Amino acid sequence: MKYCKRPKALKGGIGQHADPRKINKRVLALGIKTEMEHTNNRCMAMWISTDHIVELGQNYYKELMKMERKLKKSKS
């Protein structure tokens, strides 16, 4: 996984000083994939994911996916 410096456009955030290399690679990859729905900038997606994971925990994206599946199922 390629890491990049935090974009200047992303000021603040709980994960501002976190090191994405210390986050489980699978967890971060899932976060990046999820955030790429909102941006085409992989570096930005990595840092947004890092913020979410640091703030809300390693299971954030896994739980988010469960919630989205449940909501889609209830709509049908």
pLDDT tens sequence for the chain (76 residues): 788 999 888 888 888 889 999 999 999 999 999 999 999 999 999 999 999 999 999 999 999 999 999 999 998 7
Is residue 39 assigned to a domain? yes
Is residue 6 assigned to a domain? no
Contact assessment for residue 57 and residue 17, using Cβ atoms and an 8 Å cutoff: no
**Position 24: which residue type?**
N
Tokens representing residue 36 in the block: 């790429």
Is residue 12 assigned to a domain? no
Rounded distance between C-alpha atoms, residue 60 and residue 45, angstroms = 15
What is the domain extent for residue 42? 20-75
Residue with token string 């994939």: 33
Tokens representing residue 71 in the block: 């909501």
Model-wide pTM > 0.75: yes
Is residue 10 assigned to a domain? no
Is residue 62 assigned to a domain? yes
Is residue 4 assigned to a domain? no
Q: How many domains does the chain have?
A: 1
Is residue 11 assigned to a domain? no
